[in-house]
Structure 1
Amino acid sequence: MPPSTGLFPASRAGGAVFDPPGYVQATIEELGTPLSTVTFVVVDLETTGGSPNDSAITEIGAVKVRGGEVLGEFQTLVDPGTEVPPYISVLTGITTAMVRAAPRIDAVLPAFLEFARGAVLVAHNAPFDIGFLKAACAANGFAWPPAASVDTAVLARRLLTRDEVPNCKLATLAPFFSTSTQPCHRALADARATVDVLHGLFERLGPLGITSLEELTGLTRQVDPERRRKRHLADDVPHGPGVYVFRGPKDEPLYVGTSNDLRSRVRSYFTSGEQRHRITEMVGLAKRVEALPCAHDLEAAVRELRLIAEHKPRYNRRSRFPERALWLRLTEEPFPRLSIVRRVRPGAGVFLGPFPDRRAADAAAAAVHDALPLRQCTARISARATGNTACALAGMGRCGAPCTGAQTVEEYAPIAEVFRAAVAFDPRELVAPLLRRVDRLAAEERYEDAAVLRDRVAVLLRAVRRRQRLESLARVPELVLARPDGDGGWHLSVVRRGRLVGAGNAPRGTSVRGTLPGLLSTAETPIGPADEPAASVDETELVLRWIEKPGTRLVQVEGTLACPVPGTGPFNGFLARVEASRAERNPFADDRSLSTRARPERVTAGVAPARLGSRA
C-alpha cells in the first residue's frame, strides 16, 4: 500500500472509503466565556452615608440581563435601624418613615444573593456598592459569593475620551448613551440606567476584538506595555522605609514619593493597580528610580517634603510651592489692619496661618472683622491723621474712623490687642461675640447665615490652634523622641527648633541611652537666630504629628515644651461639632475622580485614532 498523504490514512473496507472524524482547532474567541452567554446582575444601592463602617443600606435595586435581554428585577427598601439623615432624604427622596416598615438587611440578603447566584455583578463605582454588600454579609453571617465583577465607571474610562464625555459619572454617561431611564439616586432607576450604559459600552468592545468575559475583566486591569517594559527600574530598590525619586531623560526629578516598603511601592507603579493618568505619563518618561533609605517613616516624610520643595517635580502636586502659602497679618503701624500675605517677616507684625487657600484666609479675616472694628482701608494712617472722610464701615459702627481723627492710637490699641492675644494664647475675647451671634441667628431661624458665620469661626480657631501648637514646638532648642519599631526596638528622632536634624534606630537589645551620643553628635545644627523656627511649617507639623502618635516617648528635652493656656481648649467641643456637620454635608467618602483617563496602547488597537483618541 502506498504511503498515505495527509494526516490520517484513508480506511478501506470492501472498496469503500471511510473518512476519518474531523478535528477542528478552536479559535481564541472560543476559549473564553462569550459575553452573549454571560448573566449580569447590575446592582445599585442607596445608603445613609459613605462608609459601611458607620452607615447602612436603605435600598437595593438590581436588574438581571443576558444577551441584551432583561431577565428580572429586584428592588426593596431596607430598614437601616437608624434615622435617615435629612441630607440623604433630600438627595434620594428616602425618608425614615418610608423605611420604618421595610425589612432589615438580614432578611433581604438571602433573597438578593439568590437573585444574583451565578451571575457577574456590575455596578457603577463598584467598590462602593459591593463594599456595602460585603460588609452586610460579614456582619450577618452570610458568605459572600466568589463572583466576578465589572465596574462600568472604570470601563468607561477605558473606552471613552474627554472629547466625548467630560467625566465618567453615571449622570454624565446616561444622556450620552440615551438611556431609557434617567438616574435619580433611587436604586432601581440607577440600576436600569447602568444597564443601558453597560450595553452602550459593550458596543465599543467590538472594534477592539473583545468578545469574552475574560477579555472584558482583563481590559480594566491591563497594563500599558510600555509601563510593563520598565519594571526593571525597581530591581535595585531595597525594602524598608525611605524616599524614591523617579528621574527623567535629563536625570531631572519627575516625582518624589515615600513608603515604608520602598521596593513594593515602586513595583506597584508598573502594575494595573496604578491607573492615574499623570502617573502613567510620568512612568513613561522615567529612565531610572533613585532610592533613599531612611531610618523610619518620619525621616522619610521630612526628606520627601524637602525634596519636593527644592526640586518642585512636575508630577508632584502636594507641597510643591510652600512659598505660596497664605498668612493673615496684623500690620505693625499706629493703626494696625489685617492683610493677606505670602511671606512671614519677623518683626513685621503678627502672623496667623498658613491657610490652604485664599478662601480659608478670607474666611478667617471676615471672622475677625465681624468681631473687631479693625479698619479695613489699605492706606497707611499716621498717628495724627485728620481731615479725611469717613467710609461706610464707620457709619455702620464697624470702624472707629481713625482716618478722620475720631479715634486715637490709644483708643485703637486695645482692639488690635484682642487679635494679638487670640493668636498668642487666648482667643476667647475674639471668638465669644461671634458665637453669641451664631446663636442669635439660629434663634431667628436664619440658619444659612448662622452656618456661614459658624464655618468662619471654625476656620479661624483651627488656624489659631495650629499656630499655637507649632509655635510651642518651634521654640524648643532640642528634644529627643522615641517610638517603638514593632520588633522590640526603637525609632529615634532628634528635633531642634521644630526641624528634624537626626534620625536613627536602637534595635532590640540595644540601649537607647547608649545610642543617643552618636546620634546627637552627628545631628545637624540649624542655622539662623536661636529664637526663630528652623523649619517650614509643614515639616514642624510632621514632627508634631509623630509626637502625638500613641506610643511616642519623650526621651530628653532642652527647654520647655508646652502649649499656651487656655489656648483653643475651651472650643474643642465646638470644633468637633463643626467637623461632624461637615461630614454630614458630604456623606460619601469615596471621592475618587471619575474623569476619563488615557488608555494603554493595546486598548486602541484597530480603532481609528480620530474617533477614540485620548487627550491628556
Structure 2
Amino acid sequence: MTTSAASQLSFDELGTPLRDTTFVVFDLETTGGSAAEDAITEIGAVKVRGGRVLGTFATLVDPERGIPPQVVALTGITQLMVTGAPRLTAVLPAFLEFAAGSVLVAHNSGFDVGFLKAACERHGYRWPRPTVLCTVKLARRVLSRDEAPSCRLSALAELFRVDTAPNHRALTDARATVEVLHHLLERVGPVGVHSLEELLAYLPEVTPEQRRKRELAAHLPSAPGVYLFRGPNEEVLYVGTASDLRKRVRQYFTASEGRRRLREMVALAVRVDGVVCAHALEAEVRELRLLTAHKPAYNRRSRNQGGWWWLALTDEPFPRLSLVRVPRAGAIGPFRSRRLAEAAQQALLDAVPLRACSQRIPARNPRGTPCALHELDRCRAPCAGRQSAADYAPAVDALRSLVDGADTAPLRVAADRLAELSGTQRFEDAAAHRDRLAGLVRSLDRGQRLAGLAALPELVAARPDGSGGWEFAVVRHGRLASAGVARRGVPPMPVVDALVASAETVLPGPGPLHGAPPEEASVILRWLDRPGTRLVRCDRPWTSPAHAAGSWRAWVERAEAGRDQYRITGH
C-alpha cells in the first residue's frame, strides 16, 4: 500500500513526529453505557512517548450510586470497593491535569471521551478539546478483515500477543491498549506515516476534499486568536478560538475533526480568516461578539446572546414576579432558558409570600374571588381585599433584600420548608424542593457576582503568561475594553498605561449588568476567578455583600452530595 503525493503533508506541515508525541492511553469503567445517566467507577491511564512510559494514573471513583450486578460480574468492581473512594469532583481535575497537552488514546474512544465530556459539563470544567485517537478506528484502517475479524481489545491483544491481557479493569486495559497502539503504529510507518498530523490524516474519516483544502490554513499565524470559516458568498459559516490559529485550523482537514456537520462545513468553505488576539480571554470574548454579529449556521453555542430570561417585580400595588427578556434594575438572573427562569420563580415563591397569579389588583376596593392558593394557605388573597398593600409590602422588601444581598432570610424559610417535607417523609417533594432551592442559590450567587463586576467603571487585571511575562485585561462595566501582553523582560506598567489609554469607552446601560452581555461578563468573571490572577488597579472597591447568596454555596454542595439533612446552621 502506498500513499500518493497529493495526500501527503508538505515538509512545513509535518508537525510532531510520532516518536516525539506524548500519548495518554486511558480506559474507564462505568456503571453502564450512557454518559448522561451512568457514572464512572474507575479511571486508568498510561502516559507514553517514544515507547517509554512516563507515568501512570489509576484510581477507583465513588459513583455515588449503586453498581448493577451485571457490571460487577463483568469488571469485578463491587460497591464495597468504591465506598470511600474519591468522588469524581476530586478525580476529574487531577486526570485533566495528567492528560494536559497530550493526545488522548482509547479503545473505542467515543465511549470513554463521551463520559469525560459529560463529566466536565456536569462539574463545571471546560472540555479542553484534545486530539483524540481511537485504536479501534486505527486498527480497522491498518488491519484487513482476514487478519482481524474482530477489533475488540481482547482480540487485538491476542493477535499481537501482548504481555498484558485486558480484564475489564481500567489500568490493565489501558496498558494492553498501549501495547496494541505500538503494534499499530509499526504498521503505518511503511506507508509514509511518520508524524501525528500524517497519522490523523491517514484515518478513513478524512475525505479527499478535506485534504485538498489544507492550503486554506497556510496564511494563518501561529498565534492565539479567532478564526472564521467563510462560504462562497462571504457568509461566515463557523467561528472558533485557538491558542495557535494555524495548528487549530489545520486540524479541520484531518481526522482529528470527526464531527459530521463540521466536515460538511469544511466542504463549503472557500476561505479562513484569522483575528490575532493578545491572549485566550480576548479570543473568547471576540468569539462571542462575532457569534452574535454573524450567527454562523454551523455554530451551536452562543449564537444568540440576547436570548436570556430575567425575573422582575411588576410595578403595581401588589407586585408579582414576571418573566422578562429585557432586564431592569433589581431583576433576577440571567437565565439561559425559560425553564430555568420558571424553576427559580417557583423557588422564590416557596421562599417569599408573593402572589403567584397574573391579574392586576387595584390598591383600593379589590373585588376578586380567592383562588385555590388561598385555600392552601399559599396566598392571603389581596385580590379579595383580605390583604392590604401595606401588609403585602414586607414580602416585596424581603425579596429585594435577598436580591441585593442584604438578607438571606427567605432562603432560611425555604430550607425550613425542606426540613418539614423531609420530616414528614415526603421525599419526592423534598427532592424537588431541594433542587429548586439549590438552583435558586446558584442563580442568585451568579447574578450578584456578575452585577458586582458590571458595576465597576474600570478594573485592570493581570495573569502570568507562563513564560515570565503577563497577560492584561482592562474591564469596564463587565465588558472587555482592552487586552494586551508584556513579554518577559518588558516593564509591565507602561504597557498597562497604554492599554488603559487606548481602551474602548464603555457607557453603562440599564439593568443589573449595566448593559453588559451576560455571557461576556461570565467569561471575564471566570478569567478573574482563576488562581494566579491579580488586580492591578480598580477605580473603586470591588465588593460583595456579606449576606449574598454565595454564603449558601456550602449548603448547596452538601445538599447535592446527599449529606445535608435539610437543616441550616450558621446562617
Please give the secondary structure, in 2, of the residue aligned with 1:324: coil
- Indicate if the aligned counterparts of 1:499 and 1:534 stay in contact, CA closer than 8 A: no
Shift of the 91–573 alpha-carbon distance from structure 1 to 2, 3 Å rule, reads farther
**Conserved? CA contact 1:124–1:151, under 8 Å:** no
2:66 pairs with 1:87: yes
Give yes or no for contact 1:253–1:313 (8 Å, CA) kept in 2: yes
Cα distance per residue 1:414-461 (max 9 Å; x no partner): 111111111111452111122122223223333222111111001111
Matches of 2:318 and 2:461, distance apart in 1: 44
Q: Tell me how far apart the structure 2 counterparts of residues 130 and 462 of structure 1 sit (CA, whole Å).
A: 24
Report the CA distance between 1:86 and its aligned residue. Answer: 3.3
Instruction: Identify if the C-alpha distance between structure 1 residues 373 and 92 changes in structure 2 by more than 3 Å, giving closer, same or farther.
Output: farther
Task: Pick closer, same or farther for the CA change 1:83–1:236 going to 2, 3 Å.
Answer: closer
What's the CA shift string for 1:369-415, capped at 9, x where partnerless? Answer: 12222112212222114221111111211112111111111111111
Partner of 1:419: 399
- Whether the 8 Å contact between 1:425 and 1:564 is mirrored in structure 2 is yes
Q: What does 1:245-284 align with in structure 2 at a 5 Å threshold?
A: 245-284=228-267
Q: Report if aligned partners of 1:221, 1:273 keep a CA contact under 8 Å in 2.
A: no
Distance 1:387 1:91, change over 3 A: farther
Report SS of the residue matched to 1:232: helix
Residues 29-48 of structure 1 aligned to structure 2 (within 5 Å): 46-47=29-30
CA shift in 2, pair 1:148/1:568, >3 Å? closer
Q: 1:579 to 1:433 in 2, by over 3 A?
A: same
Q: Of the candidates 328, 331, 345, which is equivalent to residue 311 of structure 2?
A: 328
1:552 paired with 2:538, answer no
Which stretch has the larger CA shift, 389-398 or 350-359?
350-359
Pair 245,580 (structure 1): closer, same or farther in 2 beyond 3 Å = farther
Give the match for residue 430 of structure 2.
450
Q: Which amino acid aligns with 1:249?
A: P
Residue-by-residue CA offset, 1:547-588 (whole Å, 9 max, x unaligned): 111111111110221111121233121222345469xxxxxx
1:310-321 paired onto structure 2 within 5 Å: 310-321=293-304
SS in 2 for 1:230: helix
How far apart in 2 are the matches of 1:341 and 1:27? 63
After superposition, the Cα gap between the structure-2 partners of 1:244 and 1:562, relative to the gap in structure 1 and judged at 3 Å, is same
Q: Which residue in the other structure is 2:136 paired with?
A: 150
Q: Distance in 2 between matches of 1:467 and 1:403?
A: 32
Residue 55 (structure 1) shift: 3.6
Local SS of the residue matching 1:550 = coil
Letter in 2 for 1:86: R
Q: Identify if the C-alpha distance between structure 1 residues 148 and 489 changes in structure 2 by more than 3 Å, giving closer, same or farther.
A: closer
Query: Could you say which residue in structure 2 is the equivalent of 1:572?
Result: 553
Report SS of the residue matched to 1:284. helix
Give the equivalent residue in structure 1 for 2:345: 365
In 1, Cα distance between equivalents of 2:217 and 2:426: 59
In 1, distance between residues paired with 2:203 and 2:292?
35
1:355 to 293, 316, 335: 335
The alpha carbon displacement at 1:295 in A equals 0.7
Map of 1:561 onto structure 2: 542
Instruction: Specify the alignment match of 2:454 in structure 1.
Output: 474
Counterpart amino acid of residue 553 in structure 1: R
CA apart distance, 1:294: 0.5
1:337 aligns with 2:316: no
The CA distance in 2 between the partners of 1:369 and 1:236, in whole Å, is: 57
Secondary structure of 2:402's counterpart equals helix
Q: In the TM superposition, what are the counterparts of 1:526-605 in structure 2 within 5 Å? A: 526-528=506-508, 533-580=514-561
* Contact residue 464 and residue 533 of structure 2 kept, 8 A: yes
**Match of 2:480, as an amino acid?**
L
Residues 400, 304 of structure 1: alpha-carbon distance in 2 compared, 3 angstrom cutoff? same
3-state secondary structure, aligned to 2:475? strand
Q: Which has the higher contact order (CA 8 A, sep 6+)?
A: 1
Please tell me whether the aligned partners of residues 45 and 129 of structure 1 are also in contact (alpha carbons under 8 angstroms): no
Report if the CA contact (8 A) 1:490-1:507 is conserved.
yes
Q: Distance in 2 between matches of 1:101 and 1:306?
A: 49
Q: Note the alpha carbon deviations across 1:584-608, whole angstroms, 9 max, x for none.
A: xxxxxxxxxxxxxxxxxxxxxxxxx
Give the 3-state SS of the residue equivalent to 1:339 in structure 2.
strand
Partner SS state of residue 150, structure 1: helix
Which residue of the partner structure matches residue 195 of structure 1? none
Change (3 A) 1:92 1:374: farther
**How much does 1:47 deviate?**
3.5
Work out the CA distance in 1 between the residues paired with 2:353 and 2:452.
29
Structure-to-structure mapping, 1:379-458, within 5 angstroms: 379-426=359-406, 428-458=408-438
Q: Which residue type is aligned with residue 232 of structure 2?
A: P
Change (3 A) 1:579 1:306: farther
Residue 500 of structure 1: how far off its partner (Å): 0.9
Matches within 5 A, 1:46-125: 46-47=29-30, 55-56=41-42, 85-89=64-68, 92=71, 125=110
What RMSD in Å do the two structures reach over aligned CA positions? 3.9
Match of 1:143 in 2: none
- 1:9-50, CA deviations, whole angstroms, 9 ceiling, x for partnerless residues? xxxxxxxxxxxxxxxxx999xxxxxxxxxxxxxxx9854698
Query: Which blocks of at least 5 consecutive residues in structure 1 are unaligned?
Result: 1-25, 29-43, 59-79, 103-120, 132-146, 156-185, 189-213, 583-616
| Residue-by-residue CA offset, 1:150-178 (whole Å, 9 max, x unaligned) | 269x99xxxxxxxxxxxxxxxxxxxxxxx
What is the one-letter code of the residue matched to 2:503?
A: A
| Alignment-derived partner of residue 224 in structure 1 | 207
Tell me which residue corresponds to 2:227.
Answer: 244
TM-score, structure 2 as length reference = 0.67
Q: How far did residue 290 of structure 1 move?
A: 0.5
* Matching residue's letter, 1:467: G
Q: Residue 495 in 1 paired to residue 481 in 2?
A: no
In 1: Cα distance, 2:352 partner to 2:399 partner: 8
**Structure-2 separation of matches of 1:436 and 1:300:** 45
Aligned AA (1:87)? G
Q: Write the letter of the residue equivalent to 2:426.
A: R
Letter in 2 for 1:525: T
**C-alpha distance 82-235 of structure 1, shift in aligned 2 (>3 A):** closer
* Greater alpha carbon shift after TM alignment, 233-242 vs 505-514: 505-514
Q: Deviations over 1:450-496 (max 9, x none)?
A: 11111100111111001110111111111111111111111111111
1:229 is displaced (CA, Å) by 1.1
**Cα distance between partner residues in 2 of 1:260 and 1:355:** 30
Closer, same or farther in 2 for the Cα pair 1:91/1:390, shift >3 Å?
A: farther
Give per-residue Cα distances to partners, 1:232-281, cap 9 Å, x unaligned.
10000111111101111111111111111111111111110111111111
Contact persistence 1:233–1:289 (CA under 8 A): yes
Query: 1:439–1:187: structure 2 CA closer, same or farther, 3 Å change rule?
Result: farther
Q: 1:292 to 1:123 in 2, by over 3 A?
A: closer
User: Could you list the per-position Cα deviations for residues 502-548 of structure 1 after superposition, in whole angstroms to 9, with x for gaps in the alignment?
Assistant: 11111211212122222222111113559962421111111111111
2:469 maps to 1:483: no
Q: Give me the whole-angstrom Cα distance separating, in 2, the residues matched to 1:515 and 1:301.
A: 21
Q: Deviations over 1:44-69 (max 9, x none)?
A: 98546989x984289xxxxxxxxxxx
Question: Structure 2: which amino acid aligns with 1:261?
Answer: D
Q: Deviations over 1:76-123 (max 9, x none)?
A: xxxx97877433348847799967699xxxxxxxxxxxxxxxxxx965
Q: Distance in 1 between matches of 2:289 and 2:61?
A: 47
For residues 578 and 225 of structure 1, the distance between their equivalents in structure 2, rounded to whole angstroms, comes to 53
In structure 2, the gaps of 5 or more residues are 4-26, 45-58, 83-105, 117-132, 142-166, 170-192, 194-199, 564-571
8 Å CA contact 1:326, 1:361 repeated in 2: yes
CA–CA distance in 2 between the matches of 1:581 and 1:237?
50
Q: Give the counterpart letter for 1:448 in structure 2.
A: E
Q: CA separation of 1:491/1:579 partners in 2, compared to 1, >3 Å: closer, same or farther?
A: farther
Distance 1:454 1:27 in 2: 62
